Structures are given as structure tokens and as C-alpha cells.
């Protein structure tokens, strides 16, 4: 896997993935940025959320669960002192579908957390306290 990060100006960078997708990263104004893009640490958190969401959806599809929607809400705490690493991350899944089996949803979340999600497992091994929970909702429900 390869990636490229190119400085644009001040605290703005373009990140390009090996698959050719580009994303803008920028810092806050008090650090020379213009707030034009995602912060790098936010990107790390989003990457972990995407990784675990991908796993959970794949597991639920394989177990033939009728998922209509899946949202992953992440909240993270960082150390006060430099380096301001993540110290805790909570992952909350909101999964909707008619007739979802709670046992299958719990299994999917657990398998992602303990076996498949490379991002969260890597962060956990680095000392980040990671917790997971889920709720099952009727179709049409949204946290946003």
C-alpha cells in the first residue's frame, strides 16, 4: 500500500491514496491553516470508522441480515500533552433494518473489534482504549 501527501501552502496538504483518490487535509486557523479540509487526526479516526463499518457490513451481509442502513459514530479523547495521541475511542454502531437479529449484529461488531478491523486492532495494541456498542433501529432512522 502506498500513499502520497503533498504540501499545498501554509497547513494545507493533499493526500493521495494508492488507488488514486485525493483528499484535502488542513489545519485550524490558529495553526496557519484555512480550515479547508479534514485534520490528519480526524482522518485517522475516520479511517478506523470506515474500516470497522466495512467489516460489520460484510459480516452482516454474509449472514443474510436485512440491513437498510449503518452509521458509525465515533468519539475520541486525546492526551493533553505532546504527542497528543488518542487515549480512548468509543465506537457506536447504529444499524437499521427490519428483522435484524441482535445476536448477528453483536457477533459482527465483536468480530470486527477482535479479529478483522486492522485499524482499531493496531490502535488498541498501541495503547488506545477502544470500546464498542450498538443499537438496532427501524428503517428510516438516522442520527444525523
96 part of a folded domain: yes
Residuewise pLDDT in 10s, the chain (144 residues)? 999 999 999 999 999 999 999 999 999 999 999 999 999 999 999 999 999 999 999 999 999 999 999 999 999 999 999 999 999 999 999 999 999 999 999 999 999 999 999 999 999 999 999 999 999 998 766 665
CATH number for 78: 3.30.300.20
CATH number for 13: 2.20.25
Asked whether residue 50 falls in the same domain as residue 8, the answer is: no
Asked whether residue 116 falls in the same domain as residue 96, the answer is: yes
Residue ranges making up the domain that contains 118: 40-137
142 part of a folded domain: no
- Grid cell 444499524 is found at 95
> Could you tell me if 46 and 21 are in contact, meaning their C-beta atoms sit under 8 angstroms apart?
no
> Could you tell me if 112 and 56 are in contact, meaning their C-beta atoms sit under 8 angstroms apart?
yes
Amino acid at each position: 500500500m502506498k500513499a502520497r501527501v503533498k504540501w499545498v501552502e501554509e497547513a494545507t496538504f493533499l493526500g493521495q491514496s494508492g488507488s488514486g483518490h485525493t483528499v484535502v487535509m488542513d489545519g485550524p486557523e490558529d495553526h496557519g491553516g484555512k480550515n479547508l479540509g479534514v485534520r490528519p487526526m480526524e482522518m485517522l479516526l475516520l479511517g478506523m470508522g470506515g474500516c470497522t463499518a466495512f467489516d460489520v457490513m460484510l459480516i452482516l451481509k454474509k449472514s443474510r441480515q436485512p440491513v437498510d442502513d449503518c452509521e458509525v459514530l465515533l468519539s475520541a479523547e486525546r492526551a493533553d500533552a505532546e504527542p497528543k495521541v488518542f487515549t480512548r475511542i468509543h465506537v457506536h454502531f447504529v444499524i437499521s433494518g427490519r428483522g435484524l437479529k441482535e445476536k448477528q449484529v453483536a457477533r459482527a461488531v465483536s468480530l470486527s473489534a477482535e479479529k478483522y478491523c486492522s485499524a482499531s486492532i493496531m490502535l488498541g495494541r498501541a495503547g488506545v482504549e477502544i470500546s464498542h456498542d450498538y443499537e438496532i433501529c427501524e428503517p428510516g432512522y438516522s442520527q444525523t
